[in-house]
Structure 1
Amino acid sequence: MGLALGLALGLGAALAASAAPVVDGKGARKLVFKPDGAEVAVVDLPFLSEADRKTLVVVGAQQPYYGAIAVAPTEGLRSRATLAAANYHDVDAARVAALRGCDAARKPEGAPCVIAAEIRPKGWEPRALQLSADATDGLRSEYGRRGGPRAMAISPSTGRWAVIKGQGAASRALEACADQSGATDCRIAVEDR
């Protein structure tokens, strides 16, 4: 296949923290998508061949949602600049990361990178809470359904997350999220007191 895709897990540009409401664990489980399976929306770009479009679907479906694939138009899909950014909490953050990585790797004389595909959960529709595939899995396994105070902090710009249980869970989850990613945009997404 010869497709050079760099996977940028947790490497993204800083975005403004979302003002999404904090929900409890039960409400969060109802809002998030299943952590397995992604759908790929390929952008209609004139330089992509039918084979390129099929490749984007195959490669994109193997990535955890939310994600995006950026391509340098003057270099084509099989360029070393082609980059997939996956496992973010929304497509917008993944787009920023993919474009940043692709533009850093493309030939300087070429055109700026563009988004060629977006990766979302199967059956995607807008919801009040969006978590990456890994964070969704963490919500189901680590966060749990019972057991006193607990909180999940997420970083929209990096896709990182942390779950902490016990007294002071929210402040400790924010600290753990920032320590993992170096992000300054960690916020509480799920909390039970």
Structure 2
Amino acid sequence: MPRLALLALALALPSVPAVAQTVTGEQAAALLFAPAPAEVEINGQGVLAKDEASMLAMVAKDQPYYAAIAISPDEGLMSEATIAAANHHTIEAATAVALGECNAKKTGAADCVIVAVVRPEGWEARPLQLSMSATEDFANYAGGALAISAATGAWGIGASADEAVAACAAKQETATDCAVAIAN
């Protein structure tokens, strides 16, 4: 996707939740899910055939959490409008990106729908959620700060809050909403 389109998409995601509140590294360690395995929930009733739902479940299990897969109901699963948005910090963020990109690519009249989500095994709502990659990188957290972008799934670790925000923003050009999620 061209950079301007990505920037426009990032700016058009007001429904993506921002970082709720900063927690300490010790609190984060207690809140985060294991980096693997992930579970897939198929939501394709009425949109996907049974064989498509089975195939999608097999493919989706390899996506890093949090992920959402959107399709254009008029075009079906095997179209260019099908989008998997993966490695976000929440299902809501992945859903917003997948729907936004799918609706931008679809040629049919109906709005895109989410047919699958990927989240950590045993998922339950928690005050802090990180993408699978950020959760893996948290193993390197020895203090300082970790910042995340709710809109893009980017993250960064630094010795200070400013360094963490800069590291987050450097990961993705459209990560203009980086905020500190973990700090000691």
| TM-score category, normalised to shorter length | 0.7 to 0.9
Residue 186 of structure 1 corresponds to: 178
Name the SS for the 2:51 alignment partner.
Answer: helix
Instruction: Quickly say closer, same or farther: Cα 1:102–1:40, change in 2 above 3 A.
Output: same
Counterpart check, 1:175 vs 2:166: yes
8 Å CA contact 2:19–2:150 kept in 1: the answer is no
Residue 153 of structure 1 corresponds to: 147
Instruction: Please give the alpha-carbon distance, in whole angstroms, between the structure 1 residues aligned to 2:52 and 2:79.
Output: 12
Residue 141 of structure 2 corresponds to: 143
How much does 1:37 deviate? 1.5
8 Å CA contact 1:68–1:117 kept in 2: the answer is yes
Instruction: Please give the alpha-carbon distance, in whole angstroms, between the structure 1 residues aligned to 2:76 and 2:148.
Output: 34
Instruction: Please give the alpha-carbon distance, in whole angstroms, between the structure 1 residues aligned to 2:52 and 2:88.
Output: 24
8 Å CA contact 2:67–2:84 kept in 1: the answer is yes
Instruction: Please give the alpha-carbon distance, in whole angstroms, between the structure 1 residues aligned to 2:19 and 2:68.
Output: 22
Aligned-residue Cα RMSD (Å) equals: 1.8
How much does 1:176 deviate? 2.2
Instruction: Please give the alpha-carbon distance, in whole angstroms, between the structure 1 residues aligned to 2:178 and 2:133.
Output: 16
- Structure 1 letter corresponding to 2:23: V
Name the SS for the 2:177 alignment partner.
Answer: coil
Name the SS for the 2:182 alignment partner.
Answer: strand
The equivalences for 1:4-43 within 5 A come to 13=10, 14-15=13-14, 18-43=18-43
The range that moved more, 20-29 or 180-189, is 180-189
How much does 1:130 deviate? 0.2
Residue 61 of structure 2 corresponds to: 61
The Cα offsets for residues 154-190 of structure 1, whole Å up to 9 and x where unpaired, read as 000000000012xxx1112112212322322111111
Name the SS for the 1:65 alignment partner.
Answer: coil
Q: In percent, how many aligned pairs have the same letter?
A: 43
Number of equivalent positions = 174
* Structure 1 residue ranges (4+ consecutive) displaced by more than 6 angstroms after TM superposition: none
| Bigger Rg, structure 1 or 2 | 1
Name the SS for the 2:69 alignment partner.
Answer: strand
Name the SS for the 1:189 alignment partner.
Answer: strand
The range that moved more, 77-86 or 173-182, is 173-182
Name the SS for the 1:29 alignment partner.
Answer: helix
Residue 119 of structure 1 corresponds to: 118
